Amino acid sequence: MMGSASRLFLARVPAELARLDYSGNPYELAALLRVRILEGEHPRATAGPPRIMILPPDVDTFTVFHELMHVLMQLWELERAIESEVSESAAHDHLEAVTDHAARLALSLTAAPPCA
């Protein structure tokens, strides 16, 4: 079930990526968002302050985008609203599903060829 906070978040992602005018590299996006990247065993992120993303050395591109979407969600103060769209027992899974959706959206936008 996608509520209004989830829909708002997913609508804001493409607009924010366009506004930042980044090349499609998630590490460049992290730099544009002023997210400091640290090495760690399990991926996680926080909008802070300070904005920090912890990534294992062999992390895949999707996971980097997923963690960056958590940062955006927190920066826009939508995390609790998205969690509240479902029952407390389903909140974490719902939050992760919306974040996954946003990461796939970000990946799809970076795969598009430039407009002529």
pLDDT at 115: 43
pLDDT, mean of residues 54-60: 95
Percent with pLDDT over 70 in the chain: 94
pLDDT, mean of residues 8-21: 94
Task: Domain ranges for the chain, please list them.
Answer: 4-111
Residue 116 has pLDDT above 60, yes or no: no
d(Cα 61, Cα 23) in Å, to the nearest integer?
14
Q: How confident is the model at residue 44 (pLDDT cuts 50, 70, 90)?
A: very high
Residue 37 has pLDDT above 60, yes or no: yes
CB 24 within 8 A of CB 110: yes
CATH number of 4-111: 1.10.357, 3.30.1560, 1.10.10, 1.10.287? 1.10.10
CB 44 within 8 A of CB 74: no
Structure tokens, 61? 């591109």
pLDDT at 111: 59
CA 15 to the chain's CA centroid:
13
pLDDT, mean of residues 26-50: 95
pLDDT tens digits, 84-114: 999 999 999 999 999 999 999 999 887 545 5
Residue 39 has pLDDT above 60, yes or no: yes
d(Cα 29, Cα 70) in Å, to the nearest integer?
13
